[in-house]
Amino acid sequence: MIQMKNVIKKYPNGVLAANGITVNIKQGEFVYVVGPSGAGKSTFIKLMYREEKPTSGEVTVSGINLSTLKNARVPHLRRQLGVVFQDFKLLPRLTVYENVAFAMEVIEEQPKEIRKRVMEVLELVGLKHKVRMLPNELSGGEQQRVSIARSIVNKPKVLIADEPTGNLDPETSWEIMEIFEEINRQGTTIVMATHNREIVNTVRKRVIAIEGGMIVRDEYGGDYGYEG
Amino acid sequence: MKGRTVRRHFRESFKSLGRNGWMTFASISAVTVTLLLVGVFAIIMMNLNKVADDLENDVEIRVLIEIFNDEAEMKAAEEKLIAQIENLPDVSEVVYSAKEDELNDLIQDFGDELSLFEQNNPLHNVLYVKAADPQATAKVAKEIDKLDYTYEVLYGEGKVEKLFSFLNISRNIGLVLILGLLFTAMFLISNTIRITIIARKDEIEIMKLVGATNSFVRIPFVLEGMWIGLLGSVIPIVVVSTVYYNLYHTLAPRLKGNMLELLNVTPLLYQVNALLVLIGLLIGIWGSFMSVRKFLKV
Q: Output phi, psi for A56, to 5 deg.
A: -150, 165
Q: How confident is the model at residue B259 (pLDDT cuts 50, 70, 90)?
A: low
Candidate from B202, B210, B298 with C-beta closest to A106: B210
What pLDDT sits at residue B193? 81
**Dist. CA A136–CA A130, nearest whole Å:** 12
Q: Are A81 and A25 in contact, with CB atoms under 8 Å apart?
A: no
**Helices marked H in A107-169 — which ranges?**
111-124, 140-152
Q: What is the mean pLDDT of residues B43-50?
A: 86
What pLDDT sits at residue A4? 95
**A100 or B3: whose pLDDT is higher?**
A100
**Looking at the predicted structure, is the pLDDT value of residue B100 above 70?**
yes
Ordered by where they begin, the domains of chain B are 3-55+163-293 (no CATH), 60-154 (3.30.70.3040)
A89 vs B212: CB contact, 8 Å cut-off? no
Candidate from B2, B202, B205 with C-beta closest to A108: B2
> pLDDT for B194-229, tens place per residue?
888 888 888 899 999 998 999 999 999 999 999 999
Q: What is the mean pLDDT of residues A210-226?
A: 90
**Looking at the predicted structure, is the pLDDT value of residue B56 above 70?**
yes
Residues of chain A with CATH 3.40.50.300: 1-80+156-222
CA distances from B62 to B52, B114, B124, B143, B160 (A): 21, 21, 11, 13, 13
Q: Give contacts of A154 with chain B, Cβ < 8 Å.
A: 211
Q: Quick check: A72 contacting B, CB < 8 Å?
A: yes
A83 vs B209: CB contact, 8 Å cut-off? yes
Please give the CATH topology (third level) of the domain spanning A1-80+156-222.
Rossmann fold (3.40.50)
**B89 Cβ contact partners less than 8 Å away, ≥ 6 residues apart:** none
> What angle in degrees, to the nearest 10, is found between the helix axes of B159-198 and B201-210?
60
**A52 or B100: whose pLDDT is higher?**
A52
**B182 or A205: whose pLDDT is higher?**
A205
Q: Quick check: B254 contacting A, CB < 8 Å?
A: no
Concatenating the DSSP letter of every residue in B113-168 gives GGGGGGSS--PPPEEEEEESSGGGHHHHHHHHHHSTTEEEEES-TTHHHHHHHHHH
Kindly report the average pLDDT of chain B as a whole number: 86
Query: Which of A90, A196, A81, A82 minimizes the C-alpha distance to A143?
Result: A90
Q: How confident is the model at residue B185 (pLDDT cuts 50, 70, 90)?
A: confident
Burial of A128-148, coded b for 16+ CB within 10 Å and e otherwise, reads eebbeebbeebeebbbbbbbb
What pLDDT sits at residue A199? 92
Q: Which residues 20-59 of A are in CB contact (within 8 Å) with B? A: 49, 51
> pLDDT for A52-74, tens place per residue?
999 999 999 988 999 889 988 99
Q: Give contacts of B212 with chain A, Cβ < 8 Å.
A: 75, 106
**Looking at the predicted structure, is the pLDDT value of residue A228 above 60?**
no
Kindly report the average pLDDT of chain A as a whole number: 92
Q: Are B152 and B144 in contact, with CB atoms under 8 Å apart?
A: no
- Under DSSP, the state recorded for B247 is H
**Looking at the predicted structure, is the pLDDT value of residue B13 above 70?**
yes
**Which ipTM score applies to this complex?**
0.86
Q: Which residues 203-222 of A are in CB contact (within 8 Å) with B? A: none
**Looking at the predicted structure, is the pLDDT value of residue B258 above 80?**
no
Q: How confident is the model at residue A122 (pLDDT cuts 50, 70, 90)?
A: very high
> pLDDT for A2-51, tens place per residue?
999 999 999 999 999 999 999 999 999 999 999 998 899 999 999 999 99
B203 vs A91: CB contact, 8 Å cut-off? yes
What pLDDT sits at residue A7? 94
Cα of A70 to nearest chain B Cα, Å? 12
Q: Quick check: A120 contacting B, CB < 8 Å?
A: no
**Dist. CA B76–CA B73, nearest whole Å:** 5
How many beta-carbon pairs below 8 A join chains A and B? Answer: 54
Q: Is B258 exposed, middle or buried (0-12, 13-18, 19+ CB in 10 A)?
A: exposed
Which of the residues B14, B204, B210, B217 would you substitute to probe the A interface, choosing the one with the greatest number of A C-beta atoms within 10 Å?
B210
B211 vs A105: CB contact, 8 Å cut-off? no
What pLDDT sits at residue A139? 93
**Looking at the predicted structure, is the pLDDT value of residue B240 above 60?**
yes
Q: Output phi, psi for B276, to 5 deg.
A: -65, -45
Q: What is the mean pLDDT of residues A78-107?
A: 92
B211 vs A150: CB contact, 8 Å cut-off? no
User: Which range has the top average pLDDT, A113-117, B18-22, B115-119, B292-296?
Assistant: A113-117
**Looking at the predicted structure, is the pLDDT value of residue A96 above 80?**
yes
**Dist. CA A46–CA A34, nearest whole Å:** 15
**Looking at the predicted structure, is the pLDDT value of residue B169 above 70?**
yes
A83 vs B4: CB contact, 8 Å cut-off? no
Q: What is the mean pLDDT of residues A62-87?
A: 91
Q: What is the mean pLDDT of residues B116-131?
A: 84
Which of the residues A76, A91, A113, A162 would you substitute to probe the B interface, choosing the one with the greatest number of B C-beta atoms within 10 Å?
A91
**Looking at the predicted structure, is the pLDDT value of residue A135 above 80?**
yes
What pLDDT sits at residue A134? 95
What pLDDT sits at residue B111? 79
Chain B residue with Cα closest to A106? B212
What pLDDT sits at residue B234? 95
CA distances from A204 to A31, A207, A223 (A): 10, 8, 7
**Looking at the predicted structure, is the pLDDT value of residue B86 above 90?**
no
**Dist. CA B207–CA A30, nearest whole Å:** 26
Chain B residue with Cα closest to A112? B4
Q: How confident is the model at residue B73 (pLDDT cuts 50, 70, 90)?
A: confident
B210 vs A92: CB contact, 8 Å cut-off? no
Q: Give contacts of A150 with chain B, Cβ < 8 Å.
A: 210
What pLDDT sits at residue A227? 64
**Looking at the predicted structure, is the pLDDT value of residue B157 above 70?**
yes
Candidate from B8, B206, B213 with C-beta closest to A89: B206
**Looking at the predicted structure, is the pLDDT value of residue B33 above 70?**
yes
> pLDDT for A177-209, tens place per residue?
999 999 999 999 999 999 999 999 999 999 999
Three-state DSSP at A23 gives strand
B212 vs A72: CB contact, 8 Å cut-off? no
